[in-house]
Amino acid sequence: MQIKVEKLKFSYQARLILSISEGAFESGHIYGIVGNNGVGKTTFFKTLTNIITNYEGHIQLDGQEIKENPRLLAKVGIMLDDMELYKSYTGLFNLRYFGGLRGEFDEDKALSLAKKLDLTPEMLSKKVATYSLGMKKKLILLISVMNDAEILIFDEPFRGIDAKSVEWFRDYLLELKGRGRLILISSHVQEDIETICDKVYLLANGDFTATFDLKNQQEVLTYTVSVTDVQVLADFLTKTGVQVEIKENTIKFDSSPEDFQIAFRHAVEEGVNFDSIKKESKFAEFIKKGVN
């Protein structure tokens, strides 16, 4: 399956929120959508699922316009950070209600997944109004995945839940990816994105301004080191084809961990002392440039 976005524009109260020139998402991949607060990530997800329909441009699922064919959304599961539950009813009622909206509901499967999130039968028998924020979030996550949708969209799925549930849910998403599901995630936590995503879109000024391919990324880190003799290290790195950036006694360059160790040993043999060594992944650098 493929979601294709072209010339998508959406404004609210005369303010342009989205102006996405293009974007494409394929089955069997997990995509991360990152950007500052208020940049339009949740709004983008709402346009993908017809929660917002008064937009210009095209959003297609396998060549069909989603806005014109709402039945296509039967293939989509979505978890929004502001999703409303029926708080005066039990967790189990909510599972049955939302599960039934998509047709056949496999209650045994839903309860099996609930156990993985530590949502016990006792908890599910209580009214949602009594739930903690973390329990509500887990229930929303469960509702989004229990019907085995082919496309899954998650808005800040890991925020507010415990570390054990985060670890299980990450692994489960990777399992779903292996089964050919198309998954989109937004998160402000770098580790969440870097751990499971194949490709990341940076949303800024209403458009996807940059992408980062995590799946095919080679292990290259950005090193910033302070040394007693910058020139010795700089000369060695330059000879091996590495571009360097020098500022006083600090040198910055990209290198694999293995190549850095070679340069480190050479510098030490030449009598250079290292005062500090900082390393950062290229993805962390990408995030810093786009999200501040």
Q: Using an 8 Å Cβ cutoff, are 172 and 145 in contact?
A: yes
* φ, ψ (nearest 5 deg) of residue 149: -65, 155
**What pLDDT band is residue 82 in, cutting at 50, 70 and 90?**
confident
DSSP-derived secondary structure letter, 214:
S
Alpha helix locations (H) across the chain?
Answer: 41-48, 91-101, 107-116, 121-124, 133-145, 163-178, 190-196, 230-239, 257-269, 282-290
Check whether residue 103 and residue 29 sit in a common domain.
Answer: yes
Residue at which a domain ends, from 187, 211, 235: 211
Q: Token pair of 15, please?
A: 């303010």
Check whether residue 29 and residue 130 sit in a common domain.
Answer: yes
Residue 258 domain boundaries: 219-289
Check whether residue 97 and residue 186 sit in a common domain.
Answer: yes
Check whether residue 191 and residue 257 sit in a common domain.
Answer: no
* φ, ψ (nearest 5 deg) of residue 208: -80, 105
Check whether residue 160 and residue 27 sit in a common domain.
Answer: yes
Residue at which a domain ends, from 185, 211, 237: 211
Q: Report whether pLDDT(164) > 90.
A: yes
Query: Rg of the chain over CA atoms, in angstroms?
Result: 23
Check whether residue 260 and residue 166 sit in a common domain.
Answer: no
The domain that contains 265 carries what CATH number? 3.30.70.120
Tell me the average pLDDT across 74-94: 91
Q: Report whether pLDDT(59) > 90.
A: yes
- Element (H or E) spanning 138, and its range? helix 133-145
Check whether residue 7 and residue 147 sit in a common domain.
Answer: yes
pLDDT in tens, 171-197: 999 999 999 999 999 988 888 888 899
Tell me the average pLDDT across 271-279: 91
The rounded distance, in Å, linking the Cα atoms of 257 and 155 is 34
Q: Give the number of residues written for the chain.
A: 292
SS3 label, residue 88: coil
The rounded distance, in Å, linking the Cα atoms of 229 and 250 is 9
- The total of structural domains in the chain comes to 2
Check whether residue 152 and residue 239 sit in a common domain.
Answer: no
Check whether residue 225 and residue 199 sit in a common domain.
Answer: no
Residue at which a domain ends, from 211, 228, 251: 211
Check whether residue 239 and residue 262 sit in a common domain.
Answer: yes
> What is residue 218's predicted lDDT score, i.e. its pLDDT?
64
Check whether residue 68 and residue 107 sit in a common domain.
Answer: yes
DSSP-derived secondary structure letter, 273:
P
